């Protein structure tokens, strides 16, 4: 629409004569996007982007839609017609429009009116959400539902937790199959790593080529979890490649992470990532080129526009090795070297633009992802990257008035939203539980308290998305887990983790009240709350507390073993009681746990502790019980 309509002089004249045009970056103002998206969904039954909304002068929505072509086309009215009709209606049906806008506003307010249930919470929605995922699961190609098909990491986190809790192998198999098909498909950038936004088909072949920071942060963590649960090295390699792509293409010079890579490049959408068979044979030579064409499914006809090919893994390496009479290791070397050469060649093409906004919320997700990579793989550079990004956010996007949402070009703007606070607190807790430096837990406690003071709904529980009403319509309070977990879902985790570390029982009470605020909606549509349901599991099931006491350099083997395991519903703390005794005033979990002159590893369940042990073997036995 930007190219077709907003740069069209005839349409621009229509707009400027009758309207005040306002363009909103939905990533800078997710609250505005949320309010008006809900309005369009109420008015039309569907939504999407680009989002086109017509407002009264007091900002109430009365008409809207998504994409409109400049002139009538394919059954869609032209934007020129829409503009003329709305302008005429404003003159001739003014009172009707005002009433309609008031009615829509009233309905929007009701959508966010979440009140605490008086009923007892139960695990039943967990089973119902699982059943819903089973019914949506595409057993042929992985994923859930039909085209367009989104990665949905929130579903995959839920399935991992469901398998861990119930030993349900079907849950793990669904997640593993989905992750494998995604990684082998065109939604995954086979050469550079990283995942595109979504697949336009059910086969994961033709993506919308945009790459988002939040997708890749969450997916890297999901693949790491899969590796923890299965030991599948392919899952590990996909996670590493995704993290390395983020470091290479998304990291700013100052250490924080950019928001997105555009779908379009100067030559057209998809051209940057796709290949003609002749190109590949010319670059690699006939012999190696034929191998790569078979491996990546490259044909003369192509699977994309203009006989171009989106790379997908179409043959097993073992099968190719047999066909070409090579060892598997030799074939792996051939494919990796050829892929490097193709990537070098691709890097010479005009690249898609990078959206260089730095968002606090999405950086929180990226920081957590790199911390998890450090824990599972042991790569120290991942932890250092996480710390550097966190330091950037805390130095550039935190002022005396509180946390801010967006940074670009040396300027930080826009008051932080719930997602900014919740995702960042989670990231700071993750860093603390990896390196055990006191400053990170201090920041987590401080920002969590600010989040409570600014966004907590004192009357009904749960957290508002923002500090004020949006456009005078409503304050947003939502727990819906979509592609990313809701801020309320992450906030529940943060409250529970901090309650265990600090001993502040009021935080746990807030966590329960938050879930109760959304309980009616959870019971109606549990599949829309998969991440909050994993938080419910944390709230109501057995938890584990791990405390390691002694010199940090001597505790390293214990820390590594704890980090390598999939241990949800756990917190971990470590300190040297000869140097950091004052830390026990902040973290009640540490109180009474001393080294007694040697190393001491405490493993507790619901604050009931085994006798401390001082060897890694004894520690592993307690962890693996």
DSSP class of residue 246? I
Q: Could you tell me the CA-to-CA distances from 505 to 12, 268, 509, 551, 588 in Å, in that order?
A: 58, 56, 6, 30, 11
318 class by beta-carbon count within 10 Å (0-12 exposed, 13-18 middle, 19+ buried)? exposed
Rounded-to-integer distance, Cα 107 and Cα 477, Å: 14
Rounded-to-integer distance, Cα 491 and Cα 448, Å: 9
Residues 6+ apart with CB under 8 A from 336: none
Within 13 Å and on the Cβ side, how many CA atoms surround 98?
7
Strands (E), 140-279: 198-199, 207-208, 211-212, 260-261
Residue 47 and residue 76 in one domain: yes
The candidate with the shortest Cα–Cα distance to 146, out of 204, 232, 93, is 204
Residue 400 lies in a domain: no
DSSP class of residue 490? H
How many domains are there within the chain?
A: 4
What DSSP line would sit under 39-61, residue for residue? HHHHHHS---SS-EEEE-TTS-E
Residue 73 and residue 171 in one domain: no
Report the CATH number at residue 154: 1.50.10.10
Residue 16 structure tokens: 């400027």
Q: Which residues pair with 415 in a beta bridge?
A: 404
Within 13 Å and on the Cβ side, how many CA atoms surround 125?
26
Residue 60 lies in a domain: yes
Residues 6+ apart with CB under 8 A from 265: 271, 272, 349, 350, 351, 352, 353
H/E element, 281: helix 277-284
Residue 449 lies in a domain: no
389 near 436, Cβ under 8 Å?
no
> Residue 118, Cβ neighbours under 10 Å: how many?
7
Residue 296 lies in a domain: yes
- Prediction pTM value: 0.94
Residue 248 and residue 290 in one domain: no
Among 263, 288, 322, where does a domain finish? Answer: 263
Rounded-to-integer distance, Cα 203 and Cα 187, Å: 9
Report the CATH number at residue 328: 1.10.10
Residue 83 and residue 54 in one domain: yes
Residues 6+ apart with CB under 8 A from 239: 220, 221, 223, 224, 227, 373, 376, 377
256 near 286, Cβ under 8 Å?
no
Residue 257 and residue 303 in one domain: no
Residue 258 and residue 295 in one domain: no
447 near 429, Cβ under 8 Å?
no
Rounded-to-integer distance, Cα 281 and Cα 472, Å: 60
Rounded-to-integer distance, Cα 550 and Cα 601, Å: 9
Residue 18 lies in a domain: yes
Please tell me whether residue 300 adopts helix, strand or coil conformation: coil
Terminal-residue alpha carbon distance, the chain: 58
Residue 283 structure tokens: 């670059």
Residue 239 and residue 321 in one domain: no
What is the domain extent for residue 325? Answer: 277-348
Q: What is the 3-state secondary structure (H, E, C) of 306-362?
A: HHCECCCCCCCHHHHHHHCCCCHHHHHHHHHHHHHHHHHHHCCCCCCCEECCEEHHH
- Burial profile 291-306: b = 16 or more Cβ within 10 angstroms, e = fewer: bbbbbbbbeeebbbee
Q: Could you tell me the CA-to-CA distances from 300 to 186, 206, 308, 314, 565 in Å, in that order?
A: 17, 17, 8, 15, 46
The dihedrals phi and psi of 149, each to the nearest 5 degrees, come to -115, 125
Residues 6+ apart with CB under 8 A from 319: none
Residues 6+ apart with CB under 8 A from 421: 403, 447, 448, 450, 451, 454, 455, 487, 491
Residue 37 lies in a domain: yes
Rounded-to-integer distance, Cα 150 and Cα 259, Å: 18
Residues 6+ apart with CB under 8 A from 18: 83, 86, 87, 90
- Which residues of the chain carry a pLDDT beneath 70? 581
349 near 265, Cβ under 8 Å?
yes
Cα-based torsion angle of the residue sequence 536, 542, 543, 545 in order, rounded to the nearest 10 degrees: 170
Give me the pLDDT at residue 341, please: 98
Rounded-to-integer distance, Cα 565 and Cα 416, Å: 34
Please tell me whether residue 253 adopts helix, strand or coil conformation: coil
Among 91, 111, 131, where does a domain finish? Answer: 111
Give me the pLDDT at residue 581, please: 67
Give me the pLDDT at residue 34, please: 92
Rounded-to-integer distance, Cα 242 and Cα 191, Å: 11
Residue 291 lies in a domain: yes
Q: Could you tell me the CA-to-CA distances from 75 to 71, 85, 232, 339 in Å, in that order?
A: 11, 17, 49, 44
Residue 59 and residue 165 in one domain: no
Residue 243 and residue 314 in one domain: no
Report the CATH number at residue 602: 3.40.30
Residue 124 lies in a domain: no
Residue 93 and residue 164 in one domain: no
Q: What is the 3-state secondary structure (H, E, C) of 95-142?
A: HHHHHHHHHHHHHHHHHCCCCCCCCCCCCHHHHHHHHHHHHHECCCCC
Residue 157 and residue 90 in one domain: no
Please tell me whether residue 152 adopts helix, strand or coil conformation: coil
Residue 253 and residue 167 in one domain: yes
H/E element, 445: helix 438-455
Report the CATH number at residue 59: 3.40.30.10
């Amino acid at each position: 629409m930007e190219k077709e309509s907003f740069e069209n002089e005839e349409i621009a004249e229509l707009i400027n004569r009758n309207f005040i045009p306002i363009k909103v970056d939905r990533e800078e103002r997710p609250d505005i996007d949320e309010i008006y998206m809900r309005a369009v969904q109420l008015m039309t039954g569907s939504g999407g982007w680009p989002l086109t909304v017509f407002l009264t002068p007091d900002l109430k929505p009365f008409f809207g839609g998504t994409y409109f072509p400049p002139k009538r086309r394919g059954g869609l009215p032209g934007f020129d017609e829409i503009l003329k009709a709305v302008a005429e209606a404003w003159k001739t049906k003014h009172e009707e429009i005002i009433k309609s806008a008031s009615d829509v506003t009233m309905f929007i307010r009701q959508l966010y009116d979440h009140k605490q249930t008086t009923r007892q919470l139960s695990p039943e929605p967990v089973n119902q959400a699982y059943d819903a995922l089973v019914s949506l699961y595409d057993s042929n190609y992985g994923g859930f539902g039909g085209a367009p098909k989104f990665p949905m990491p929130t579903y995959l986190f839920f399935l991992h937790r469901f398998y861990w809790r119930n030993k349900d192998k079907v849950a793990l198999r669904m997640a593993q199959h989905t992750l494998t098909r995604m990684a082998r498909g065109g939604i995954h950038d086979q050469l550079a790593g990283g995942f595109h936004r979504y697949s336009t088909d059910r086969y994961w072949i033709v993506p919308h080529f945009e790459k988002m920071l939040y997708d890749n942060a969450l997916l890297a963590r999901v693949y790491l979890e899969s590796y923890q649960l299965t030991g599948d090295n392919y899952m590990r390699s996909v996670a590493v490649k995704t993290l390395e792509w983020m470091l290479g293409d998304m990291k700013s010079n100052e250490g924080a992470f950019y928001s997105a890579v555009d779908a379009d490049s100067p030559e057209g959408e998809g051209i940057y990532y796709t290949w003609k068979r002749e190109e590949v044979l010319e670059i690699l030579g006939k012999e190696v080129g034929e191998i790569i064409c078979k491996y990546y499914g490259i044909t003369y006809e192509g699977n994309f526009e203009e006989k171009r090919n989106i790379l997908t893994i179409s043959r097993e390496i073992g099968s190719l090795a047999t066909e070409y009479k090579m060892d598997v290791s030799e074939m792996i070397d051939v494919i990796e070297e050829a892929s490097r050469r193709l990537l070098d060649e691709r890097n010479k093409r005009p690249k898609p633009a990078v959206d260089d906004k730095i968002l606090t919320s999405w950086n929180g997700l990226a920081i957590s992802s790199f911390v998890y990579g450090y824990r599972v793989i042991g790569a120290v550079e991942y932890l250092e990257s996480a710390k550097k990004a966190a330091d950037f956010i805390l130095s550039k996007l935190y002022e005396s008035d509180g946390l801010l949402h967006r940074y670009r070009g040396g300027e930080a703007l826009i008051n932080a939203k719930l997602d900014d606070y919740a995702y960042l607190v989670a990231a700071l807790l993750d860093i603390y539980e990896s390196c055990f430096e006191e400053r990170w837990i201090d920041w987590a406690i401080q920002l969590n308290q600010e989040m409570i003071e600014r966004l907590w709904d004192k009357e009904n529980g749960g957290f508002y998305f923002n500090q004020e009403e949006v456009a005078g319509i409503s304050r947003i309070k939502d727990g819906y887990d979509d592609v990313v977990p809701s801020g309320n879902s992450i906030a529940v985790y943060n409250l529970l983790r901090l309650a265990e570390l600090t001993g502040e029982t009021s935080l746990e009470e807030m966590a329960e009240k938050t879930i109760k605020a959304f309980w009616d909606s959870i019971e109606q549509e549990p599949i829309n709350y998969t991440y909050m349901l994993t938080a419910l599991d944390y709230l109501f099931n057995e938890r584990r507390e791990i405390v390691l006491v002694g010199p940090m350099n001597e505790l390293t083997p214990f820390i590594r073993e704890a980090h390598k395991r999939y241990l949800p519903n756990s917190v971990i703390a470590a300190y040297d009681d000869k140097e950091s005794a004052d830390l026990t005033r902040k973290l009640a979990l540490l109180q009474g746990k001393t080294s007694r002159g040697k190393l001491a590893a405490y493993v507790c369940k619901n604050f009931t502790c085994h006798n401390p042990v001082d060897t890694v073997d004894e520690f592993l036995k307690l962890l693996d019980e």
